[in-house]
Amino acid sequence: MSAATRRLLIAGNWKMNGHAADGCALARSLAAAPEDWAATLLICPPATLLAPVASVLAGSPVALGGQDCHAEAAGAHTGDISADMLADAGCTHVITGHSERRAAYSESDAVVRAKAAAAHRAGLIAIVCVGETAAERDAGKAEAVVTASLRASLPDSTRPENTVIAYEPVWAIGTGRLPIIDEVIAVHAALRAVLGEHGAAMRILYGGSVKPDNAAALLAPPDVDGALVGGASLSAADFLAIAGAA
C-alpha cells in the first residue's frame, strides 16, 4: 500500500470545550457538509457530549472518537472512561497519549501502550500520539525521541486497520509556531521506518497549530496522511476548510 491508497484523516480534538447546545450545533454543521471529501472526518468531543453528538452524526460520514480511555474495561476507576464505554457510546476512534495527557497526568509510553491495547480490544482505532519538546527539538533529538516513544507506545496488536499515528511536536500545540515542512517530512519518514512491515499502510497525521491558512502546505507531503486539529476544530468553517485542503 502506498501514499496514494492511504485515505487521509482529519481529526478534530475539541479538548475540554463545549456544552450540549453548541457542541451539537457544531456537529450538525459538519454532518450537513458535502460528502465528497478526499479525507475521512473525525471529531473527538468531551465525554459529556459523546452521546448527543453521536445522535447528531448518525447516518453521516463524520466519525466520532473519544479523547482518552482507561486501560481496563471496567472497575473502580473514578472519573475514568473505558474503551468499551466509548464504543458503546458510538465511537470508532480514541486518542491515546496526547501530549497534554502525557505532561499533565505523567502518562508514560507504557501507559499509552496499555490504553492503545484496550482500544484495540474494544474494536476502536487508536490514535497514538508522539512528539518532542522544544528543548529536545533544539538539541537535535527530535527524531530519536519520537521514534523511541513510538516503539514503546505501540502494543503487539497494532495494525494499520486499528491504529493511526499522530506526530504532534509539543512546542507547536496551540502556539502558532510550526516546524518547517522539511522537518515534518523527516519526522514522518522516521516514524514510518519504525513501523516496519506496517509502515507503508499506516496513516501518520501531523498535529500542532493546524489552521486553514497552513493546512495545504502541511498536508502536501506524501508521508503526511492527515491532521490532528485542536483549536481550529471548534469552528465548522475552519475545520471544513482544513478538510478541503486535504
- Give yes or no: 188 in active site: no
Q: Where are the alpha helices (DSSP H) in 93-224?
A: 99-104, 109-121, 134-138, 142-153, 181-194, 215-219
Q: Of these residues, 98, 107, 132, 136, which one is catalytic? A: 98
Q: Of these residues, 93, 100, 168, 188, which one is catalytic? A: 168
**Residue 53 cell numbers, joined:** 453528538
Residue whose C-alpha cell reads 478541503 in the numeric block: 244
Please provide the DSSP assignment of 21-76 as one string: HHHHHHHHHHHTS-S--SEEEEEE--GGGHHHHHHHHTTSS-EEEES--BSSSSSS
- Give yes or no: 98 in active site: yes
Residue 71, phi then psi, degrees to nearest 5: -75, -20
- Indicate which residues carry an active-site annotation: 98, 168
